[in-house]
Structure 1
Amino acid sequence: MRSSALRVGASLLALTAVMAASGPATARTASDRPGSARPGTTWSAGWAAPVQRPSEGFEENWALKGFADQTVRQVVRVTGGGTAARIRLSNLYGDEPLRIAGATVARTAGGASVEAGSVRRLTFGHRQSVTIPAGGETASDAAPVRVAPFESLTVTLYFAEPTGPSTFHAQAYAKSYRAEGDHGADRTGAAFTAYTHSWYYLSDVELTGGSAGRRGSVVAFGDSITDGFGSSYDANSRWPDLLAERLAAAGTPRPVLNSGIGGNLLLHDSPWYGDRAGARFRRDVLDKPGVRSVILLQGLNDIGFSEVDLPTYKPNPQVSAEQVIAGYRELIARAHARGVRVVGATILPFKGAEYHTARSEAKRAAINEWIRTSGEFDAVVDFAAVMAAPSDPQALDPAYDSGDHKHPNDAGYRRMAEAIDLGVL
């Protein structure tokens, strides 16, 4: 009788465990930063993108409409390497809980296709689905997938239920693909018939089992010039991408993370262009795995937006050079308190752009002089000097101009990456 009761009890316990594993996991709030299912695992940064409120952005995207019974496939190039990966998903700007019904990671074969045999089901607390509360985030468990620096991974998310407006990164300069129904395990991209140039919910890919992250991560922090506006789509020709390639070629490989947001402001939050620099500095710089240094290129929009009355250029109060400098000082102090080096970057020339005026030019000159001479940064990269037209220091060199007189083209972004002294990182 007693042994029979024990067997029944054990069976009930086993059934309860199976039922729990089959249900969705519940993620924690963003402040909890859930970790690996394997205690002691050391994670390094592979790829990251800062998240934003849902908006229409500069071109068509799916952020406001969200997803329902749809699969989204996103391709990202990592600047580190490893033998296992995990992803972080953010519902920071969601109004209600977000359910991820399924997720996979695979090696990219091109477009929306993935390499045969490389698809790995992602789990969250050993469950294949997860619910992320409004304002929260989650990390997946580790998945075995071997990837080298500068190779691409494909992350696929299936949304069985309506998501509502989506936390996203507006300007990815890379395609993300969408299919109707559940196609998370598909090898080909045939079902993925729609695409946009934004990333959705995906904020980080972290790696373990590699060596590139042992030297520490570099974070490029800024606005659209860091984000890569004007660079070629699907070419990974933003200056942080090219800086990572330079570091690897010099025999000092390390992850370089791009924490730029197009239109971002140093001093004010924006409905279209993300939280102000000070509000997002912790999550987009200081909380990244192994961060050792940050390159700060910010302030152009603060001094420029006030010169133009456009709906998206809000808020746009007059901001003084002294206020911008005070914003830099706050970020420097916070980075130094965490042992992170700060490289100050001068603001690029923008004569001919819509918000170039005598007043905004005077502010740029004053800010750049302070960056060069104050001694408050650990090092300085003089982007303004190397990107200026030979005949006019207030104008972007035509050879480096994407066409709007303020954003570089691919050649300009390469010149920026070449201007950075690798020794200061």
Structure 2
Amino acid sequence: MKLGRRLLAVASAAVLTTGLLGATTAEAAPAGLGLWTGTWASSPQAPGTGLGENWSVQGFAEQSVRQIARLSAGGPAVRVRLANTYGKAPLRVTGATVARSGEGAAVREGTVRPLTFGLARSVAIPAGGEIVSDPALLPVSPLDRLTVTLYFAAPTGPVTFHAMTNAASYRAQGDRTADTGAAAFTDISASGYLLSGIDVLGPPLVRDTVVAFGDSITEGYGSTVDENRRYPDRLAERLHGRFGVLNEGIGGNRVLNDSTCFGEKATARFERDVVERPDVRSVIVLEGINDIGSSATAIGDCFVPNPEVTAEQLIAGHRELIKKAHAKGIKAIGATLTPFVGAGYYTERGEAVRKALNEWIRTSGEYDAVADYDRALGDPANPDRLLAAYDSGDHLHPSDAGYEAMAAAVRLADL
């Protein structure tokens, strides 16, 4: 109970310094208890319908939303991050809970914990801001699954979300934050809402978070839904709690241009999604294939603008990411772009740009280390194509086996 009293004693101050003022960099836990370590994350995106049906534009009113996250690191307490990054006004969360996950939308009996914010059950997330909950005393282990339930009494209007989670979210009418059963959660979405991160209390004086930063291949598109088979998930399994692993992939994301569907460009969102995350020691950067593909073909409004890009422009963008990481003492690991012959936006010109960028990543020495996903996933008989066993079917996104091979290609010592 001593830990509980000490955590509660600093709860109000923690929220004031890391949440309601909009900052996310003050990550020290109570004296002697360690540091907050990221254990799960999801990159915020502006509300929209460009990628299919979701609840972001209509928002919520007198409804509860339940979301499930598999953790990468464990600890004696957790806290939750909620983002109103693209909100035009404060957004009120009337109530929230965290619990150990059961089957589907159900949670395990006896594990439901109320989430508070400055010791209050209800909180308004500032427009453009992120809030951090008080510590919740719910011990967790690496690879545990947690369920976060949010209740909105008043209409929220459009909400910040993450379009493609590769996992189900659930919606129910009324306040269902204390429900352990799944019966009320009759609506299902393939997107996530407001939940931008979960942290655990880690050991003192150790930086223990690794960020996987990228596009849909980092995000895990093409892997089995609800089975946690993305490459960051597989990397977390290899590490088994030694470091937290955060998945900061956004499907369709590009290095050099924003998109109404695919988020802010990598150079713009890097500070928010990497530098300002808690306790980051290293980042794996896998970005550029969408810049290459979208500049070669007209593939819809989501990839507007789509100027022709060169390897030199992409290298300049990667250098900017490396500079931002190094400025905060974060180790930058460059990941080579995976093969894409046969993909819908493949061209010979694009392939030449991909190869030039990969050669720079491998040989320039500007990244601190290299994760060579290109060679790990290429067919030995035709290295410019994904190995059939590693291809989800679209010749761009890996299969479950391909994502596992990507995680295996990361040298743990480089982290």
Specify if TM > 0.5. Answer: yes
Q: CA deviation at 1:40?
A: 6.8
- Cα distance between partner residues in 2 of 1:212 and 1:412: 36
Could you say if the C-alpha distance between residues 136 and 233 of structure 1 is closer, same or farther in structure 2, counting changes exceeding 3 Å? same
Residue equivalent to 2:227: 235
Q: CA deviation at 1:36?
A: 8.3
- Cα distance between partner residues in 2 of 1:414 and 1:102: 38
Q: Given that residues 24 and 278 in structure 2 are in contact (C-alpha distance below 8 angstroms), is that contact kept between their aligned partners in structure 1?
A: no
Q: 1:117 aligns with which of 100, 110, 115?
A: 110
1:253-272 equivalences under 5 Å are 253-272=242-261
Q: 2:20 aligns with which of 25, 28, 33?
A: 28
1:191 aligns with 2:184: yes
Q: CA deviation at 1:81?
A: 0.5
Q: CA deviation at 1:39?
A: 6.8
Question: 1:370 aligns to what SS in structure 2?
Answer: helix
Residue equivalent to 2:407: 417
Q: CA deviation at 1:399?
A: 1.0
Could you say if the C-alpha distance between residues 312 and 390 of structure 1 is closer, same or farther in structure 2, counting changes exceeding 3 Å? same
1:140 aligns with 2:133: yes
Residue equivalent to 2:341: 351
Question: 1:349 aligns to what SS in structure 2?
Answer: coil
Residue equivalent to 1:16: none
Q: CA deviation at 1:213?
A: 9.8
1:5-404 equivalences under 5 Å are 28-31=20-23, 42-208=35-201, 210=202, 214=206, 216-248=208-240, 253-309=242-298, 310-404=300-394
Cα deviation, 1:145-166, whole Å, max 9, x if unaligned, reads 1111100111000000111111
The normalised TM-score by structure 2 is 0.92
- Cα distance between partner residues in 1 of 2:32 and 2:346: 52
Could you say if the C-alpha distance between residues 382 and 193 of structure 1 is closer, same or farther in structure 2, counting changes exceeding 3 Å? same
- Cα distance between partner residues in 2 of 1:46 and 1:253: 11
Partner letter of residue 47 of structure 1?
W
Q: Which runs of 4+ in 1 moved over 3 A?
A: 31-41, 210-215
Q: Given that residues 37 and 125 in structure 1 are in contact (C-alpha distance below 8 angstroms), is that contact kept between their aligned partners in structure 2?
A: no
Question: 1:191 aligns to what SS in structure 2?
Answer: coil
Q: CA deviation at 1:32?
A: 6.4
- Cα distance between partner residues in 2 of 1:157 and 1:345: 36
Q: State which structure, 1 or 2, has the greater radius of gyration over its C-alpha atoms.
A: 1
- Cα distance between partner residues in 2 of 1:359 and 1:50: 31
Q: CA deviation at 1:59?
A: 3.5
Q: Given that residues 215 and 249 in structure 2 are in contact (C-alpha distance below 8 angstroms), is that contact kept between their aligned partners in structure 1?
A: yes
The normalised TM-score by structure 1 is 0.90
Residue equivalent to 2:6: none
Question: 2:110 aligns to what SS in structure 1?
Answer: coil
- Cα distance between partner residues in 2 of 1:136 and 1:30: 5
Question: 1:350 aligns to what SS in structure 2?
Answer: coil
Could you say if the C-alpha distance between residues 35 and 253 of structure 1 is closer, same or farther in structure 2, counting changes exceeding 3 Å? closer
Q: CA deviation at 1:316?
A: 0.6
- Cα distance between partner residues in 1 of 2:119 and 2:186: 31
Instruction: Give the aligned CA root-mean-square deviation in angstroms.
Output: 2.0
